[in-house]
Structure 1
Amino acid sequence: MAPIPTIDLPASYESLSLTHIKISHSPIGSPTVTPVVVISLNRPENNNAFTPQMADSLTQAFHLFHIDPRIKAVVLTGAGKMFCAGSDLEIGFGDGGGRAVDFRDIGGRVALAIHRCHKPTIVALQGSAVGVGMTMTLPAAIRICHEKGKYGFVFTRRGLTIESCASYFLPRLVGFSRAMHLITTGGVYPPPCRNILAISLPRLSRRRPKFCRLAQDIAEYTSSLASSMSRALMWEGPSSPEEAHLLESRVFHHMVGQPDYKEGVGSFLEKRKPRFKADPRESCPPNFPWWTAANIFLEPSATKTSKL
Structure 2
Amino acid sequence: MIPSPDPITIPQSYETLPLTHVKVSHHPLGAPEATQVIVVTLNRPEKQNAFTVEMMDDFEKIYPMFDLDERVKVVVLTGAGRIFCAGADLERGFKGIQKERTIDHRDTGGRLALAIYRCRKPTIAAMQGSAVGLGMTMSLPCAIRIGCEKAKYGFVFPRRGLTMESSSSFFLPRLIGYSNAMYLLTTAGVFPPTSPHFGRLFAETYPDPEKVVSRALELASEIAENVSPMASYLSRELMWRNPGTAEEAHLVDSAVLYHMFTGRDQQEGVKAFFEKRNPSFKATLEDDAPPNFPWWTEIDTGRRGKSARSKI
Give the TM-score of the pair, scaled to structure 1.
0.92
Conserved 8 A contact 2:157-2:163: yes
Counterpart mapping for 1:31-42 below 5 A: 31-42=32-43
- Structure 1 stretch displaced more, 273-282 or 247-256: 273-282
* Cα distance per residue 1:241-273 (max 9 Å; x no partner): 111111101000111111000011111111111
User: What SS class does the counterpart of residue 28 from structure 2 fall into?
Assistant: coil
Partner of 2:130: 128
Conserved 8 A contact 1:205-1:211: no
User: What SS class does the counterpart of residue 113 from structure 2 fall into?
Assistant: helix
- Displacement of 1:102 after TM fit? 1.7
- Structure 1 stretch displaced more, 237-246 or 127-136: 237-246
Conserved 8 A contact 1:118-1:280: no
- Structure 1 stretch displaced more, 135-144 or 191-200: 191-200
**Counterpart-to-counterpart distance in 2, 1:55 and 1:74:** 17
**Counterpart-to-counterpart distance in 2, 1:280 and 1:257:** 15
Find out whether 1:145 has 2:147 as its counterpart: yes
Counterpart mapping for 1:223-302 below 5 A: 223-297=228-302
User: What SS class does the counterpart of residue 162 from structure 1 fall into?
Assistant: coil
**Counterpart-to-counterpart distance in 1, 2:111 and 2:213:** 28
* Cα distance per residue 1:85-135 (max 9 Å; x no partner): 000011122377542112110010011111110000000000000000000
- Note closer, same or farther for the CA distance 1:90–1:282 as it changes in structure 2 (3 Å cut): farther
Conserved 8 A contact 2:8-2:64: no
Counterpart mapping for 1:167-182 below 5 A: 167-182=169-184
Q: Which has the higher contact order (CA 8 A, sep 6+)?
A: 2
Letter of the 1:22 partner, please give it. Answer: K
**Counterpart-to-counterpart distance in 2, 1:297 and 1:118:** 17
Counterpart mapping for 1:2-81 below 5 A: 6-81=7-82
Counterpart mapping for 1:214-225 below 5 A: 214-225=219-230
- Displacement of 1:206 after TM fit? 6.5
Partner of 1:302: none
Query: What count of residue pairs does the alignment treat as equivalent?
Result: 295
> Cα RMSD over matched residues?
1.8
* Cα distance per residue 1:45-94 (max 9 Å; x no partner): 00000000001101211111001011000000000000000000111223
User: What SS class does the counterpart of residue 13 from structure 1 fall into?
Assistant: coil
- Note closer, same or farther for the CA distance 1:211–1:18 as it changes in structure 2 (3 Å cut): same
Partner of 1:211: 216
**Counterpart-to-counterpart distance in 1, 2:212 and 2:249:** 42
- Displacement of 1:30 after TM fit? 0.5
- Displacement of 1:22 after TM fit? 0.2
1:166 to 151, 165, 168: 168
Pair member with larger Rg: 1
- Note closer, same or farther for the CA distance 1:25–1:118 as it changes in structure 2 (3 Å cut): same
Counterpart mapping for 1:95-106 below 5 A: 97-106=99-108
Conserved 8 A contact 1:44-1:82: yes
> Any unmatched runs of 5+ in structure 2?
304-312
1:184 to 186, 190, 194: 186
* Cα distance per residue 1:189-212 (max 9 Å; x no partner): 111351211111121317965431
Find out whether 1:112 has 2:117 as its counterpart: no
- Displacement of 1:8 after TM fit? 1.8
- Displacement of 1:5 after TM fit? 6.8
- Note closer, same or farther for the CA distance 1:99–1:279 as it changes in structure 2 (3 Å cut): same
Give the TM-score of the pair, scaled to structure 2.
0.91
Conserved 8 A contact 2:109-2:138: yes
Partner of 1:304: none
- Note closer, same or farther for the CA distance 1:268–1:12 as it changes in structure 2 (3 Å cut): same
**Counterpart-to-counterpart distance in 2, 1:137 and 1:62:** 14
